[in-house]
Amino acid sequence: MRRRNDDKTDARPHDVARLTHHARETVTKQGGTSYTFVTEGIDPAVAQARAAAGNKKVAVAGGANVVQQCLRAGLLDEMQIHLAPLLL
């Protein structure tokens, strides 16, 4: 999860809450983007992302499991699905 930036050309740093099973210290990359590793579950990860975002939008990126957790917890207001057709 991260604070969503609607202007894709804006290079400001972001606060990223990374949902993981492995606890780690917060990492700050060159340019100021910080990654906080959240092990307590989807609710605390989204809460942390919302707190960092202030009044801005929060985007959830991840696999099916992360999205399913967000759906079950009622944490999504909007969802965009990107399909890539594949011809075998």
Identify the CA nearest to 15 among candidates 23, 4, 24, 7. Answer: 4
pLDDT digits (tens, 9 = 90+) for 20-29: 999 999 999 9
Entry pTM: 0.74
Which residue ranges in the chain fall short of pLDDT 50?
9
Q: Tokens representing 35?
A: 């990654």
